[in-house]
C-alpha cells in the first residue's frame, strides 16, 4: 500500500479533507511532528508521497526552528526522486524555498475568505483542469513566495501574485487552504486569536462566513486532492 509522510507544524493544522482523498484512494499516511520532537527522515525512500502542512513559523526562522532545514532537505530528496509533493501554506513556502525562490513577509497578512483566480496554465494542468475560476478560498498567511525558476504559476489573488504553483509533474504548492473543515477553522481562530487582533481581523466574521464559502471550496479541494493522489497510487502499480 502507498504511504504518505505528512509534516505537521502545529496541532490545529491537520490534513483535514486531504485525508478523505487519501482514504478514498487507499493511501495510508503517517504524521511526522517535528515541533513535538519527531525526527525528520533523512531519506524519502520509505514514502510514496510527501505532504507539508501549514504552521505559524516562517521559512526564514530556521534559527528558532532548526527542523525546517531538515524538512527542506527531505523536500529536496523527494524532488530528486520525483516523489509527489503537496505543500500547503507554510508547506508551499518551504517547497518554493527549496527550489531557490525567495520567501518574504507580504505587504500585509491575508487572513479570511478571499477570491483566488486560476491562471490560464490551469486549463491543461493535471489537478486544476476544469475547475471554475475564480473561487473563494480560505487564507491565513503573512509570508509570500516568488515563483521558483522552472515552475508554473497556477493561481493568484488580489493581494498575492503567486498563490499556487507546480514544479515538474507532481510537486505542487498552494498558499491558500482548501483542506479546512469547520473544526479546523474554529481551532485556528481560537489558537491564533492574538494574531487576529494584531492584524485587525474579525475571527467571528471568519466563522460566520464559513457556511457560505466552505461547500464549494471543499468540493474544489476534493477534486484537486483526489487528482494529486493519482500518481501516488500509480507509483505502486
Burial 30-63 (b: 16+ CB within 10 A, else e): eebebeeeeebbeebeebbbbbbbbbbbbbeebe
Strand pairing of 28-32 and 3-7?
parallel
Distance CA 134, CA 113 (A): 12
- Catalytic choice (9, 12, 71, 89): 89
| Sign of the C-alpha dihedral computed for residues 59, 158, 139 and 197 taken in this order | positive
Phi, psi of 214 (to 5 degrees): -65, -40
Distance CA 156, CA 153 (A): 8
Phi, psi of 224 (to 5 degrees): -65, -45
Q: How many degrees, rounded to 5, is the angle at CA 42 between CA 38 and CA 48?
A: 90
- Strand pairing partners for 143? 105
Among this protein's residues, is 89 annotated catalytic? yes
Q: Enumerate the active-site residues.
A: 89, 177, 179
Amino acid at each position: 500500500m502507498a504511504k504518505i509522510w505528512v509534516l505537521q507544524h502545529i496541532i490545529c493544522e491537520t490534513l483535514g479533507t486531504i485525508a478523505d482523498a487519501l482514504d478514498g484512494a487507499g493511501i495510508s499516511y503517517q504524521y511526522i511532528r517535528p515541533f513535538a520532537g519527531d525526527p525528520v527522515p533523512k531519506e524519502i525512500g520509505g514514502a510514496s508521497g510527501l505532504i507539508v502542512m501549514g504552521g505559524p513559523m516562517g521559512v526564514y526562522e530556521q534559527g528558532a526552528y532548526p527542523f525546517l532545514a531538515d524538512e527542506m532537505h527531505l523536500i529536496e530528496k523527494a524532488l530528486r526522486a520525483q516523489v509527489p509533493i503537496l505543500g500547503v501554506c507554510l508547506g508551499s513556502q518551504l517547497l518554493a524555498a527549496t527550489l531557490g525562490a525567495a520567501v518574504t513577509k507580504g505587504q500585509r497578512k491575508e487572513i479570511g475568505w478571499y477570491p483566488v483566480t486560476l491562471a490560464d496554465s490551469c486549463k491543461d494542468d493535471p489537478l486544476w483542469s476544469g475547475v471554475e475560476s475564480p473561487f473563494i478560498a480560505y487564507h491565513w498567511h503573512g509570508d509570500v513566495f516568488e515563483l521558483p525558476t522552472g515552475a508554473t504559476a497556477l493561481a493568484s489573488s488580489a493581494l498575492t501574485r503567486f498563490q499556487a504553483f507546480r514544479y515538474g509533474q507532481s510537486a505542487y504548492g498552494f498558499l491558500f487552504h482548501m483542506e479546512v473543515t469547520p473544526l479546523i477553522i474554529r481551532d485556528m481562530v481560537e489558537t491564533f486569536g492574538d494574531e487576529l487582533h494584531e492584524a485587525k481581523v474579525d475571527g467571528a466574521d471568519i466563522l460566520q462566513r464559513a457556511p457560505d464559502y466552505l461547500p464549494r471550496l471543499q468540493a474544489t479541494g476534493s477534486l484537486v486532492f483526489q487528482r494529486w493522489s493519482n500518481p501516488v497510487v500509480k507509483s505502486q502499480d
